[in-house]
Structure 1
Amino acid sequence: MKKSLLLLLLFVSFLANAQRWTVEKANAWYAKQPQFVGANYIPNTAINELEMWQADTFDPATIDKELGWAEGLGMNIMRVFLHNIPYDTDKAGFISRINQFLTIADKHHIKIMFVLFDSCWNDNPKAGKQMEPIIGKHNSGWARCPGTKMLFDSRTWGSLEAYTKDIIGTFANDKRVVVWDLFNEPSNSGYNDAVMPLLRKSFEWARAAKPSQPITAGWWTDHPMSNEFMFANSDIITFHNYKDAENLEAQIKELKSRYKRPLICTEYMARKHKSTFETCLPIFAKYKVGAINWGLVQGKTNTIFAWDEPMPNGGEPALWFHEVFRTDGSVYKQSEVDAIKAITKK
């Protein structure tokens, strides 16, 4: 690594590190937690975070039903994406809906990991009616948070700062929230190093809100600048792994050895890539690593379809990419349910 890059990494790591949990505190917190098993969750009626959280499309009845299905599997954690636009357009209503969502999750004995920012999928997010799904296309309507224009214009970040501090501050001592995941795959969409200013600010703003819960942002690909910053400033270590069990175990061993901190895998389970419940969950349990797969219920996100294999005819793929349940509550594959229940002791 070039000396100038190393110095820059050390500098950016220092900026948000002052309030970082010690290794001892992080591990003491984790020792009190169960074996986390859960999913990235959005109701089947929402195509993206905006449709999930805006007042006219917020769907508590469906959320209650679907989290009940998750509870039936013994799942105890959900990773859920927020968005700055519902906060900007309807602050009080948005916070009220978050509280309502948390009440439903708590009823089903499920803790929530909220995600505040995301660099993935569609640019230029807008309030109001969202697009309809593109037939057979994975995550055809998912919205970045924020969009590129706002990401590259720090003059507009006052609202992002307010969103971060207010949401985290409001729920800073709420036992229903278990972790704050500040930025999903920050260097995605070709942002690379350009995302660093907002990534740094997201940690600064989150620390200022003084949450009782740990904060994190996690590895998704080899990008030195963002990875080193996130690893140096996260209270607990989070990561994505969509590969087979052998690769997963090797990554867990490497991360445990390097950081000595609790680990949660915040995305896994892509059947096409041999990342499955049957093979991966025993590895997570062996090392007490949290396991949060992508997707719970087949729906408007179209994530039964693979990232790189759209099906314009809209037929059901022979092998689902993600998701556990069909929209009627029946399961896609009983052997997967059996594997989940074997770990959750349900």
Structure 2
Amino acid sequence: MLFGGLPHRYNSPTYPCARAAAGPADQLEAHRVLAQSEPSAGGFIAVQGRRLTLQRERVHLKGFFYTPKNYSPSDMWEYWDANLIAQDLQRLHTAMGINVIWVRVPYEISGVAPAGYATEELVLRMRELLQIADSLNMRVIFTLFDGYRDFPPPGKQSETDNLTYLRQLLPNFANDDRVIGWDMYYRPETQRVWRIDQPRAISWLVRMANNAKALAPNHLITVSLNNARAAWQPDFDKLRIIDFVDFIMLRVNDKQREEIEDLIGRLPEEPRKPIVLYDFEWGSGPPCRTLRYTEEQQAFMHYSMLTLLEENKVAGALISAIHDGDAGRPPPGMALTTTWVCIGWMAAPSR
């Protein structure tokens, strides 16, 4: 089931906050209208066993991690262009028939939101993105704390700052069903804190997830994990991520369908949570003209993941690269990996 046919109120074809010709007064009024808008009436996505449901019918999430081409997540929010985003999503929605976009919200955005502050400007841009997505019958998963590195233990001032950030941000959307849920962190296992003090990192994720659920009880909570087993690993108090999330996001980059089915089959049976796969695409492009990295192979991988959806073995599939990036070396300090060579890299757009 997709989201078509359900009553939503946000169907305006224009996005006044981004009109170049609008004056300051017009822009302020447009912001005010968006800020006062009521949530749509389609209903919240819920969980039933290993299913995601909408109005008690099974839902399959089919979508992608979104930024405009050659924009990093921070660039998108800093150099906000709603008309560009609307045109981009319209094209992608028409071509792919997707029903969800996954968007990372940096903990610090230059010129928009200092570290740990959910400013009015950020909230307005998030609402505008929701309006654009809803006009195309799509919903949104937001990743929080993007770029944050600390993972403080309980009682530290930085933990207080993290919780204040959640209290500033999430109540603005708590009654908005255009939001599917909140991803507490993108691939936490890649961070140094996880490698040197894993229980501390898990403890922080559990605390943030628990507080986010209290602030937005109608939304689903998740963590986009690099390693499936991480969800079942305990912190100091024997608390586990799996006990505080509503569904699991698992990275399956470069895995064949058989490997993915084996991975899912080896997960513990309890607790039963919906599984959403991400990063399942393989790169393609001029530097990658090998048997493994071709557009034909990429299309085959997409088809394989969609059949897993159709067979109800997973609840969703999210692509992480929707554009072939510009060929070339990655930015300074970034490892020259196969992924970067094949998919390209996010160069800051020229202004």
Normalized against structure 1, the TM-score is what? 0.66
Inter-partner Cα distance in structure 1 for 2:131 and 2:158: 33
- Offset from partner CA, 1:89-118 (integer Å, 9 cap, x none): 670111001001111111111110111124
Q: 1:279 aligns to what?
A: 304
Inter-partner Cα distance in structure 2 for 1:63 and 1:284: 27
Are the aligned partners of 1:216 and 1:238 in contact in 2 as well (CA < 8 Å)? yes
Q: 1:34 aligns to what?
A: 59
In structure 2, runs of 5+ residues without a counterpart are 1-44, 284-291
Q: 1:94 aligns to what?
A: 122
* 1:110 maps onto 2:138 in alignment: yes
Inter-partner Cα distance in structure 2 for 1:210 and 1:70: 29
Q: 1:214 aligns to what?
A: 220
Q: 2:241 aligns to what?
A: 230
Alpha carbons of structure 1 residues 171 and 300: separation in structure 2 relative to 1, 3 Å: farther
Inter-partner Cα distance in structure 2 for 1:301 and 1:165: 41
Q: 1:290 aligns to what?
A: 316
Q: CA deviation at 1:211?
A: 2.8
Output the amino acid matched with 1:283.
L
Inter-partner Cα distance in structure 2 for 1:71 and 1:303: 30
Are the aligned partners of 1:180 and 1:213 in contact in 2 as well (CA < 8 Å)? yes
Structure 2 counterparts to residues 194-209 of structure 1, below 5 A: 194-209=200-215
Q: 2:100 aligns to what?
A: 77
Alpha carbons of structure 1 residues 28 and 103: separation in structure 2 relative to 1, 3 Å: closer
Output the amino acid matched with 1:308.
T
Q: CA deviation at 1:189?
A: 2.5
Q: CA deviation at 1:303?
A: 11
Are the aligned partners of 2:46 and 2:53 in contact in 1 as well (CA < 8 Å)? no
Output the amino acid matched with 2:174.
A
Alpha carbons of structure 1 residues 310 and 170: separation in structure 2 relative to 1, 3 Å: closer
Inter-partner Cα distance in structure 1 for 2:218 and 2:329: 33
Inter-partner Cα distance in structure 1 for 2:142 and 2:220: 11
Q: CA deviation at 1:231?
A: 1.1
Inter-partner Cα distance in structure 2 for 1:191 and 1:70: 37
Are the aligned partners of 2:171 and 2:215 in contact in 1 as well (CA < 8 Å)? yes
Q: 1:53 aligns with which of 49, 55, 77?
A: 77
* 1:265 maps onto 2:288 in alignment: no
Output the amino acid matched with 1:52.
M
- Offset from partner CA, 1:23-72 (integer Å, 9 cap, x none): 7477473653532111111112522x222212xx1121221121112211
Are the aligned partners of 1:248 and 1:280 in contact in 2 as well (CA < 8 Å)? no
Structure 2 counterparts to residues 238-257 of structure 1, below 5 A: 238-242=249-253, 243-255=255-267, 257=269
- Offset from partner CA, 1:185-236 (integer Å, 9 cap, x none): 1221232214234213211320230331111114322443479721121112
Q: 1:190 aligns to what?
A: 192
Alpha carbons of structure 1 residues 42 and 204: separation in structure 2 relative to 1, 3 Å: same
Inter-partner Cα distance in structure 1 for 2:99 and 2:47: 24
- Offset from partner CA, 1:238-281 (integer Å, 9 cap, x none): 21111111011222334484433222113321245877213322
Normalized against structure 2, the TM-score is what? 0.65
- Offset from partner CA, 1:93-152 (integer Å, 9 cap, x none): 11001001111111111110111124xxxxxxxxxxxxxxxxxxxxxxxxx2x134x757
Inter-partner Cα distance in structure 1 for 2:344 and 2:85: 22
Q: 1:3 aligns to what?
A: none
Are the aligned partners of 1:161 and 1:205 in contact in 2 as well (CA < 8 Å)? yes
Identity value in percent: 19
Alpha carbons of structure 1 residues 263 and 151: separation in structure 2 relative to 1, 3 Å: same
- Between the two structures, name the one with larger relative contact order (CA 8 Å, sep ≥ 6): 1
Answer with 261-270 or 170-179: which moved more: 261-270
Structure 1 counterpart SS, 2:278: strand
Are the aligned partners of 2:189 and 2:225 in contact in 1 as well (CA < 8 Å)? no
Q: 2:162 aligns to what?
A: 160
Bigger share in helix: 1
- Offset from partner CA, 1:143-192 (integer Å, 9 cap, x none): x2x134x7579312333212223322211121111121112212212322
Alpha carbons of structure 1 residues 232 and 68: separation in structure 2 relative to 1, 3 Å: same
Q: 1:309 aligns to what?
A: 338
Inter-partner Cα distance in structure 1 for 2:82 and 2:68: 9
Alignment RMSD, CA only?
Answer: 3.7
Structure 2 counterparts to residues 13-32 of structure 1, below 5 A: 24=48, 27=51, 29=53, 31-32=56-57
